[in-house]
Amino acid sequence: MKRIARLSMVSTLAFILMSAVAPRDFALAQTAADKAAKIDQLMAEYFKQGTFNGSVLVAERGRVIFKKGYGFADMEWEIPNAADTKFRLGSITKQFTATLILQLVEQGKIKLDARMTEYLPDYRKDTGDRVTIHHLLTHTSGIPSYTGLPGFFKDISRNPYTVADFVKKYCSNDLSFEPGSKFAYNNSGYFLLGAIIEKVTGKTYEQALKENILDPLGMKDTGYDHHETIMKKRAEGYEKSPRGIINAPYLDMSLPYAAGSLYSTVEDLFLWDQALYTEKALSAQSKELMFKPNLNNYGYGWTINTQTAGSKSINIVGHGGGINGFNTLITRLVADRHLIVLLNNTGGTKLGEMSREITNILYDQPFNLPKKTP
């Protein structure tokens, strides 16, 4: 009888606790559902107007409240985009390259203030001796970006290169300014960081990435994109033209390399975001360096900015990417553990505007649907 009475008391207490907690949980779920409906309304309108074709994921306080695909991953076969569709990331790749460098710093194999020629001894010394790893990470090296070279996309971008040959031919030009004195967004700098990773580890960039970030974090749908590889659920890249949507021009993926050659899904980028709140990939000290704003508010592979939502000023850590047929954006609202991931496969579009409106929704602020274009 005592056992039955004790069990009855426990059951009653559990019921009281559930009664106290359940309404709050229900209210939170209802609020999340309301926000998800608004996000869907917003993104459906962008899709309807032809300014978004891709996949979206939004997390609130570390929990996914919305994920959905719009339009087609393959327009010719009418295969729809989904949360597990793989998109080329473009320059979101840079934060993974920066992470590999910081891991090597933690291991004592690289120093941020060391000259790059300490790790690439064959690089020209008259310029390389003046450029540090920190300069490469922060786009302050003064080395011209190869993507800005005349005729690069027309004459060079379809041809495969080895890392060493590409560094020598396209990442070794005269400096545009004194290292550290200015900010100039620079794909050459991150290509060189990839070469340094290979030199220091004795492994390919792709192998180092897989072993040190992707596998430990369970990012099974992320990797280095190779055009020739048969890959399930890969989105095709498209671009807008006066004739309508067309297939994007071919780009040999040996060229974006450590500056822009990764593919991923919105779901894997959520795993990445969550890992950055832990020390699975980097120590707290390394993350402090990564997210410290330098010139132009650029950290190591991330931009650090603020956005106003109502009366609240929100710190934003994010990065965009653009590569033939794709543009992408990851936005982390770190103080509240919110996340917005937008992956689009129809070339350049207004992802920053979309992210700002989703941020307004997350903070219960009015949001604007896109205006219809004539």
The pair of structure tokens assigned to 168 is: 């020598």
Residue type, 245: I
> Measured between alpha carbons, how far is 26 from 28 in angstroms, rounded to an integer?
5
What is the distance between the alpha carbons of residues 13 and 306, in angstroms, rounded to a whole number?
46
For position 207, what pLDDT does the model report?
98
Give the model's pLDDT for residue 5.
37
State pLDDT tens for residues 126-174.
999 999 999 999 999 999 999 999 999 888 999 999 999 999 999 999 9
In terms of Cα–Cα distance, which of 204, 123, 224, 127 is closest to 162?
204
Backbone phi, psi, residue 263, to 5°: -120, 160
Going by C-alpha positions, the residue among 372, 368, 374 that lies closest to residue 41 is: 368
Interatomic CA distance for residues 116 and 122, integer angstroms: 10
pLDDT of the residue at 309? 81
Of 192, 230, 197, the C-alpha closest to 211 is: 197
Q: Is the pTM here over 0.85, yes or no?
A: yes
- Residue 217 tokens read as 């974090």
Q: How many of the other CB atoms lie within 10 Å of CB of 119? A: 22
Element at 104 (helix H, strand E)? helix 93-106
Provide the CB-side half-sphere exposure for 299 (13 A, CA).
Answer: 24
DSSP codes of every residue in 270-309: HHHHHHTTTTSSS-HHHHHHHT---GGGB-SS-EEEEEEE
Distance separating alpha carbons of residues 364 and 176, to the nearest angstrom: 46
The count of other CB atoms within 10 Å of the CB of residue 5 is: 9
Domains and CATH numbers, the chain: 35-362 (3.40.710.10)
Q: Which residue in 218, 269, 212 sits closest to 85, CA to CA? A: 269
Parts of the chain with a pLDDT under 70: 1-29, 373-374
SS3 call for 224: strand
Give the distance between the most distant pair of CA atoms in the chain: 89
Describe the crossing of helices 2-48 and 351-362 by its angle, rounded to 10 degrees: 150
Residues constituting the chain:
374
pLDDT reported for residue 371: 86
186: tokens are: 């620079």
End-to-end CA distance of the chain: give it in Å, rounded: 78
